[in-house]
Amino acid sequence: MVFRAAYLVTAVVHLTALLLNYLSLGDFSLVVFISKPLLMPLLMIHYLQASAQLRRPAGWALPISLIFSFGGDVLLMLGTLEALKSYMVLLFLSGLVSFLIAHVCYILEFAKDQTQGKSLLRRRPLWLIPFLLVYAAFMNFIIPNMEYAFIFPVVVYGGVLTTMVVAAFNRKGKVNALSFWLVFIGALTFYLSDSMIAIDRFYHSFQLAPLAIMTTYLTAQYLIVIGLLRRVDY
Contact 90/150 with Cβ under 8 angstroms?
no
DSSP state of 200: I
pLDDT on residue 49: 92
Predicted model pTM? 0.93
The average pLDDT across 22-33 equals 92
Percent of the chain having pLDDT more than 70? 97
Judged against a pLDDT cut of 50, whether residue 234 lies above it is answered with no
Q: What is the DSSP string of 81-149?
A: -GGGGGGHHHHHHHHHHHHHHHHHHHHHHHHGGGSSS--HHHH-GGGHHHHHHHHHHHHHHHGGGS-HH
pLDDT given for residue 223 in this prediction: 98
Residue 224's Cβ-count burial label (10 Å; 0-12, 13-18, 19+) is buried
Average of per-residue pLDDT across 167-190? 94
The identity of residue 75, as a single letter, is L
CA distance 39 to 34: 10
Kindly state the average pLDDT of the residues 166-175: 92
Residue 50's H or E segment, with its range, is: helix 29-53
Q: pLDDT for 101-154, tens place per residue?
A: 999 999 999 998 877 767 778 888 898 999 999 999 999 999 998 888 899 999
Cβ pair 36, 217 in contact under 8 A: no
C-alpha torsion sign, points 10, 211, 33, 100:
positive
Query: What is the C-alpha to C-alpha distance for residues 35 and 27, in angstroms, rounded to an integer?
Result: 14
Looking at residue 85, its pLDDT comes to 83
pLDDT band for position 30 (cuts 50, 70, 90): very high
- Provide the pLDDT for residue 205: 85
Q: What is the pLDDT of residue 213?
A: 96
Cα–Cα dist 65/106, whole Å: 6
pLDDT (0 to 100) of residue 142: 93
Residue-wise over 1-32: b if at least 16 C-beta within 10 A, else e?
Answer: eebbebbbebbebbbebbeebeeeeeebeebb
Q: What is the pLDDT of residue 232?
A: 62
DSSP 175: S
Task: Give the span between the Cα atoms of 62 and 224, in whole angstroms.
Answer: 10
Judge whether residue 35 has pLDDT over 50: yes
* Mean pLDDT score of the chain: 92
pLDDT of residue 145: 85
- Tens digits of residue pLDDT in 47-90: 999 988 887 777 889 999 999 999 999 999 998 888 888 888 89
* 71 contacts 98 by C-beta, under 8 angstroms: yes
Q: Which amino acid, 83?
A: A
Half-sphere exposure of 103 (CA within 13 A, CB side): 27
